[in-house]
Amino acid sequence: MNIYKEASKQHLRIATKKGPLSVEQLWGLSLNELDTLAVSLEEEYQNSGRKSFITKESDKSICAKLRFDIVVDILKTKMEAEELSRQKTEIRDHNRRIDELILRKKNQELENMSVEELENLRK
């Protein structure tokens, strides 16, 4: 089952330093806050009592895993979005520099033309 569907079905809340937050509210946390939360949720999951591959996971363990998976997914999604934004900014800045150089070259070509050539270019 989709982790977000399961979280909404359970009315899942995740304990944070800001108090219990819904899944929607987790998107408002910073990357550092999400990272800290993911680390604590991973520890909680590891200490939730699931120590066997033979016995069935407890409800506590399943819920701990769900909270951890959601926080990690949100963290990864936000990191990917931040990286994509950084790449777009780099491309935009690069293209802006190229456009400036092209304009400078065109102006330089015009400056090197004779008066007669410039007059012929008038519209």
Give me the residue spans of the domains in the chain: 3-88
pLDDT band for 53, please (50, 70, 90 cuts).
low
User: What is the DSSP track for 1-21?
Assistant: --HHHHHHHHT-EEEETTEEE
The string of pLDDT tens digits covering residues 59-89 is 788 899 999 999 999 999 999 999 999 999 9
Helix (H) or strand (E) holding 105: helix 59-111
Residue 60: closest CA among 78, 73, 47: 47
Q: Quote the pTM value.
A: 0.76
Q: Which of 38-48 are b and which e, b meaning 16 or more Cβ less than 10 Å from the residue's Cβ?
A: bebbbebbeeb
Residue 52 confidence (pLDDT) above 70: no
